[in-house]
Structures are given as structure tokens and as C-alpha cells.
Amino acid sequence: MKRIAILGSTGSIGTQALEVIEAHPDQFSVEVLTANSNVDLLIEQAKKFKPNAVVICDTTKLAALKSGLESDNIKVFGGAASIVQLMSMDTIDLVLTAMVGFSGLAPTLAAIENKKNIALANKETLVVAGDLVTKLALENKVSIYPVDSEHSAIFQCLAGEMHNPIEKIILTASGGPFRGKKKSELANITKAQALKHPNWTMGAKITIDSATLMNKGLEMIEAKWLFDLQASEIEVIVHPQSIIHSIVQFQDGSMKAQMGLPDMKLPIQYALGYPNRLVSDFPRFDFTKFPQLTFETADEETFRCLGLARWAMEKGGNLPCVMNAANEIAVAAFLRDALGFLQIAEVIEATMNQVAFESQPDIKAYQESDAAARQITSQLIQKSDVKI
Ligand code: NDP
Ligand code: MG
């Protein structure tokens, strides 16, 4: 029986993880659930899965959480610092990090320091401070199991291959809702259009990241740290059907790919159940229904975020952290109609050029870079002359 803490249980990954856990009551139990502000769903989940403790980050909702769970024997906490503190609970076996953005970094570091294995969905943690996170994991003999479908694919392809050198990996990208469109067609697109992903249903931030291709950029950096790769060993290819989830090429030229219908429950279940493959009733892939699996080069001229992420990955230091912070602010602004779609890449690039570069940041320097980048991007967004 694995006892699981789900950080971000009310989100897209969190709710699907609870579906996986519900289908395998003999394998998993829930130890901790956390949300940012969705107190109603958190109460509902807590009553159903009976965790030891729950946390709501937004402390204005703490009273509502307490009163909703007053007849249940569940510890109730408020504030992000409580999540960090709970990571020392000795009844947690595995922590699923399914929060969004930089907010996942502190609890992930705390979980690793407390020797908890990680099922990692929160890719921004590795983008921001991949060097610190992977070094700490190695020191504490902690495993990081990828949840992101592409990285789960690579992890699955590497089973039994750990001592065979990788020549390269190829991350597949659906291309998002605007695949094939040129810059001139994207100037006036709305958030409703950008939130319609062709193949996946996900939280708002990652859905916009998928539309700009920043998601694939973040995933390149995530892969670099998870699989200890050089930037030159990581490629991206657009595969609109999202059936092949990624590919590993070995030094003999042989390629292994992992495939299946696009359903995040599969990589979530693989990460939670590792090293075992558990039974599932997820719909099965049928070749005859997909007579064509196609592949094309990503259009980096239109989707500039991919190139920005490659620059950040190659340069390293605090640049990926700065890029991530700028992206979080820019996406949030786009989602409240304060920034145009094409301006997202513009303000990220401008921020990356303005924050002082640091080649070997420690955690404090990462926090400072994140704060500086957020401030600069916010100012750029406020200025009306930020137009393409
Ligand atoms: P959602 O927006 O659907 O859910 C995010 C969860 O984190 C919610 O529980 C939310 O609480 C909580 N949360 C949000 N912000 C904060 C914060 N500042 N502090 C504490 N908790 C917070 O996101 P997704 O589930 O889509 O994504 C989660 C992570 O997984 C992201 O890093 C994403 O990139 C990654 N991922 C997601 C995939 C997907 O299919 N969705 C696929 C691959 C990776 P509340 O509900 O109260 O707002
Ligand atoms: Mg992915």
C-alpha cells in the first residue's frame, strides 16, 4: 500500500490521480490533499478519500475548510508554508507534485529533503532549479518519476536500458490549436480559442503553454534534468495525433517509442504504480482507426517560445528560471485579456534580456531571479508600447 500526498489535488492532474487511486484501493491510500483556493472541491475530496491532513493555500478559505470538515477526523491547515511542513510526515510514501508553476518548488525540495519519492507533474520545478532538485534527489536517494506524458514515454522506453547511452530523445508535440497558422493570423486570437486544445484537456496555464509551444520548451528543459542530457541531444517533432508520446534513439540507431491514446491517467498511474504496471480500463488504441500518424517540423518562427526555451536550456544558470517567471506572468495576463497572444513571447524575451545573468545560482538567487523577472514582465505588460 503506497500512501500518497497530492499537492494540487483539485486540478486536472490531481483529480485524475484521485480517479486512478479510487480504481486501486488495494494499492494506494491518500495521506495529504492540497488546493490553492477551491475549498468546495477540497472538502468533497477529503470526505471521500479520508486523508490524514488537508491544506488550503488561500488562508481566507481556511475557516470554510475547517467548518466543512469539522465532523471528520482530518487535520486542516492553511497557507503554502503548511504544505512544506507536512512533507516531513512519516506516513507519506510518495508525493505527487501537481501544483502549477514556481509554487511547486519549495514543497518539492522539502519532500526530497524528507526522502519522499516524487511523482513529478509540476515541470516548472525542474525548469526553475533542475540542478538543485536533481542534486538533492541524488543525495537523498530519492526517485523522481515523471508524470508528464512525454517524459513518462521516455522513462518507459528506458526500462531495461539504463546502461545503454542515449544518442538523442525526440519529444513529440501536438502543435496545439494554432498549428499551421502564421503570425499574421494569430495577432487577434482570443483566450477562448487558445484554451481549446485539440487532444488534451488540461489546466488553463498549461493549455496556453501548449498553444504558444512554450510547453514543449519547458519539457525540453524538464527532459534535460530528468534524463541527464545535453541540449544537443533533445529534439522536438510535431505529431498532431498525439499517439506517439516520445521517442528514444540509442547509439546503435535503434529507436523506441511509447504510444497510446492521449489520456493522462496512464502516465499518472505508471508513476504512482512504478515499477508495476497496474490493470486499467482506459480505452485502447486501435491502429485501424488511425491509419495515418504524421510528423512535421515545429514552426519556430511563428511559435517563438520554443526558441526562447532552447536558448534558456543552452545557456543555463538562472535563465530558465527567468523565462519561467516571465511566462507565468505573461500567460496570466493573456488569460485576463491584458496581453495579446503574440506579445507573450515578446515580453518573455525582453525579460530574459533584462534580468542579470547568474551562471551558478543557489536557491536564494533563484528566488531573487524569479521575483525580478516577475516585476520586469509586469512592468512591460503595463506599458502600452509593448506591441509586436
Ligand atoms: P490545474 O490548474 O488544473 O490545477 C492546479 C492545482 O494546483 C490545483 O489544485 C490548484 O488549486 C493548485 N494550485 C494552483 N496554483 C497554486 C499555488 N500558487 N499554490 C498552491 N496550489 C496551487 O493544473 P494542471 O493539473 O493542469 O497542471 C498541474 C501541473 O502539472 C503543471 O505544472 C502542469 O504543467 C503539469 N502537467 C499537467 C498536465 C495536464 O494534463 N493537466 C500534463 C502534464 C503536466 P485550485 O484548484 O484551488 O486553484
Ligand atoms: Mg507533456
276-299 tens-digit pLDDT? 999 999 999 999 999 999 999 999
- C-beta 39 within 6 A of ligand 1: no
pTM of the predicted model as reported, rounded to 2 decimal places: 0.97
How far is residue 248's CA from residue 235's CA, in Å, rounded to a whole number? 10
The residues, ordered by sequence, that sit 6+ positions from 88 with a Cβ below 8 Å of its Cβ are: 110, 114
- C-beta 107 within 6 A of ligand 1: no
How far is residue 63's CA from residue 26's CA, in Å, rounded to a whole number? 34
Is residue 364 very low, low, confident or very high in pLDDT (cuts 50, 70, 90)? very high
Tens of pLDDT, residue by residue over 310-342, are 999 999 999 999 999 999 999 999 999 999 999
- Residue identifier of the C-alpha nearest atom 28 of ligand 1: 98
Q: Residue 375's closest CA among 358, 351, 344?
A: 351
Query: Is the pLDDT confidence value at 266 over 90?
Result: yes
Query: Is the pLDDT confidence value at 385 over 90?
Result: no
Query: Is the pLDDT confidence value at 230 over 90?
Result: yes
Query: Is the pLDDT confidence value at 151 over 90?
Result: yes
Q: Which of 100-114, 194-208, 224-238 has the lowest mean pLDDT?
A: 194-208
- Residue identifier of the C-alpha nearest atom 41 of ligand 1: 202
The ligand with the least distance to the CA atom of 205 is 1
* Distance of CA 23 from the midpoint of ligand 1 (Å): 22
The pLDDT value given to residue 46: 98
- C-beta 206 within 6 A of ligand 1: yes
Which of 6, 9, 13 to mutate to test ligand 1, by most ligand atoms within 8 A of the CB atom?
13
- Residue identifier of the C-alpha nearest atom 16 of ligand 1: 36
For all residues of the chain together, what is the average pLDDT? 97
**Which atom in ligand 1 lies closest to the alpha carbon of residue 218?**
34
The residues, ordered by sequence, that sit 6+ positions from 304 with a Cβ below 8 Å of its Cβ are: 345, 349
- C-beta 121 within 6 A of ligand 1: yes
Residue 340, phi-psi category: left (phi > 0), alpha (psi -120 to 50), beta (remainder): beta
- C-beta 273 within 6 A of ligand 1: no
DSSP 13: H
The pLDDT value given to residue 384: 60
The pLDDT value given to residue 92: 98
- C-beta 124 within 6 A of ligand 1: yes
The ligand with the least distance to the CA atom of 174 is 2
- The fold for domain 2-146 equals Rossmann fold (3.40.50)
- Residue identifier of the C-alpha nearest atom 15 of ligand 1: 100
Residues forming a β-bridge with 145: 119
- Domain spans, the chain: 2-146, 149-261+286-314, 316-388
Which of 32, 197, 202, 205 to mutate to test ligand 1, by most ligand atoms within 8 A of the CB atom?
202
214-226 and 124-139 helices, crossing angle to 10° = 10
Q: Residue 370's closest CA among 8, 121, 105, 7?
A: 105
- The fold for domain 316-388 equals Rna Polymerase Sigma Factor; Chain: A (1.10.1740)
- Residue identifier of the C-alpha nearest atom 23 of ligand 1: 203
When pLDDT is averaged across residues 255-280 and rounded to a whole number, the result is 98
- C-beta 203 within 6 A of ligand 1: yes
Is residue 388 very low, low, confident or very high in pLDDT (cuts 50, 70, 90)? very low
Query: Is the pLDDT confidence value at 207 over 70?
Result: yes
- C-beta 264 within 6 A of ligand 1: yes
> Contact at 8 Å (CB) between 265 and 21?
no
- C-beta 201 within 6 A of ligand 1: no
Return the percentage of the chain with pLDDT > 90, whole number.
Answer: 97
Tens of pLDDT, residue by residue over 94-116, are 999 999 999 999 999 999 999 99
Tens of pLDDT, residue by residue over 8-66, are 999 999 999 999 999 999 999 999 999 999 999 999 999 999 999 999 999 999 999 99
- C-beta 8 within 6 A of ligand 1: yes
